[in-house]
Amino acid sequence: MWLREYVLWEGEQVIKREKRRYLALEVASEQSVDERVVLDAVQASVRRLFGEYGASKTNLKLITYIPEKHQVVICCSHFMLEKVRAAIASIMEVNGETAAMHVVGVSGTLKALSKKT
């Protein structure tokens, strides 16, 4: 269990548990790209926008790659979901090739994400 954020509420300290969010990304590129390269591009974009400290709070992980659909599933902290989405939207190239990434779906479980995509 990951404990990250402390919230003050009516004078008491409440600890919020860090939850995961799964994002399905569609990679629009002229050539096929490797899943590891996609994750590196997302991490570089987060680092460029929010610095090392912001990137360390995202807890980005590669979950799976679906080459038939050109989709990558990644996992991040729910505290940083909007910042990760902003970083994904700012990606213009992957591994030197012009590419765009679109968030297809977001969910708290992989089962629900597979139903959405």
Average the pLDDT over 50-77 and give the result.
93
Conformation bin of residue 84: beta by default, left when phi > 0, alpha when psi is -120 to 50: alpha
Q: Compute CA distances 1 → 16, 34, 115, whole Å.
A: 11, 31, 26
pLDDT digits (tens, 9 = 90+) for 8-34: 555 556 667 889 999 999 999 888 888
- Work out the angle at residue 58's Cα, subtended by the Cα atoms of residues 57 and 62, and round it to the nearest 5 degrees: 140
User: Quick one: pLDDT at residue 6?
Assistant: 54
User: Quick one: pLDDT at residue 21?
Assistant: 95
User: Quick one: pLDDT at residue 1?
Assistant: 46
Average the pLDDT over 93-110 and give the result.
91
User: Quick one: pLDDT at residue 78?
Assistant: 92
User: Quick one: pLDDT at residue 30?
Assistant: 85
Average the pLDDT over 96-113 and give the result.
92
Structural domains in the chain, sorted by start: 19-116 (3.30.70.3250)
What is the value of pTM for the model shown? 0.82
Q: Three-class SS of residue 96?
A: coil
Residue 13 neighbours by CB under 8 Å, 6+ apart: 6, 7
User: Quick one: pLDDT at residue 9?
Assistant: 55
